[in-house]
Amino acid sequence: MPNLRRSKSDRITLAVASAALVLAGCGSGQQSAAPGSEAPEVTGDVTVFAAASLMETFTQLGKDFEAAHPGTKVKFNFGGSSALAQQLNQGAPADVFASAAPANMKQVTDTKTITDVPRTFVRNKLAIAVPKGNPGKIAGLADFADAGRKIALCAEQVPCGAASKKVFELARITPAPDTLEQDVKAVLTKVSLGEVDGALVYRTDVKAAGDKVEGIEFAESAQAVNDYPIAPLAKAPNAATAKAFVDFVLSEKGKSVLSAAGFDSP
């Protein structure tokens, strides 16, 4: 009988030990799967090519993103969307592209430089910008046809220039520009320095300039609204952080910064 008790006890001990091993095996299996399910680490530098009209808002969003993701650094290349698209297609290293028009984004997607579907994150429209005090007495679009006034416009190949061309066609006005610039910030600088009497820029640029310029709204601008798409690049050197930055721009935080600057929601 004593031997039987020990035998039964041994069997119970073995059963408990076996169960423990099974549970341990299950537990270790879950632990080994966990690392594979973790999101890629968001860290390091991320280079963003962005339309010049996004300079103020993206600079702020870059700082906010870095604060939200310690260990990251957002580097920007601002310029005309057409020039940025050309640089990307020629192999310039970057992680994200934010264009002021779908046409320039398409130049990049057509070359497979971008594989993700670009997402429209804001919209923008034009306004007339004049120096403080409006010394040239610009009243509306018709004054852009006056050869006696100094006028600045964006070149047609950049989004603000394409939009300008459209509003002039709608208004049946042939403008007489004295200078054509390669991005909207260059046009705005001409106005703020008093080098021209008037120009067409985005209304967000008028707002960003503060009291350096004055803005004049016009009806035709509502028919030439620019959509702004954004996407991570196919060969982004830092793909995880590129995606995180795009998500940040599309987040409620991003929307609030862009809305405060005068951009419209898509």
State residue 221's pLDDT score: 95
Q: How confident is the model at residue 24 (pLDDT cuts 50, 70, 90)?
A: very low
Model pLDDT for residues 138-160, shown as the tens digit of each residue? 999 999 999 999 999 999 999 99
Alpha-carbon gap, residue 48 to 34, rounded angstroms: 32
How would CATH label the architecture of 44-123+227-260?
3-Layer(aba) Sandwich (3.40)
Do 73 and 44 meet the contact criterion of CB atoms below 8 Å apart? yes
Q: How confident is the model at residue 39 (pLDDT cuts 50, 70, 90)?
A: low
The Cβ of residue 235 has, within 10 Å, a number of other Cβ atoms equal to 13
| CA nearest neighbour of 78 among 252, 205, 211, 250 | 205
**Residue 14 confidence (pLDDT) above 90:** no
Range(s) of the chain covered by CATH 3.40.190.10: 44-123+227-260, 126-223
Classified as helix, coil or strand, 241 is helix
State residue 113's pLDDT score: 87
State residue 116's pLDDT score: 83
Model pLDDT for residues 178-207, shown as the tens digit of each residue? 999 999 999 999 999 999 999 999 999 999
State residue 26's pLDDT score: 40
Q: How confident is the model at residue 23 (pLDDT cuts 50, 70, 90)?
A: very low
**Residue 60 confidence (pLDDT) above 50:** yes
| CA nearest neighbour of 105 among 90, 124, 89 | 89
Model pLDDT for residues 162-178, shown as the tens digit of each residue? 999 999 999 999 999 99
Alpha-carbon gap, residue 93 to 237, rounded angstroms: 7
Report whether CATH 3.40.190.10 matches the domain 126-223.
yes
- Could you give phi then psi for residue 263, rounded to 5 degrees? -75, 150
Token output for 107: 């130049």
pTM value > 0.85: no
Model pLDDT for residues 125-134, shown as the tens digit of each residue? 999 999 999 9
| For the chain, percent of residues with pLDDT exceeding 90 | 82
State residue 114's pLDDT score: 86
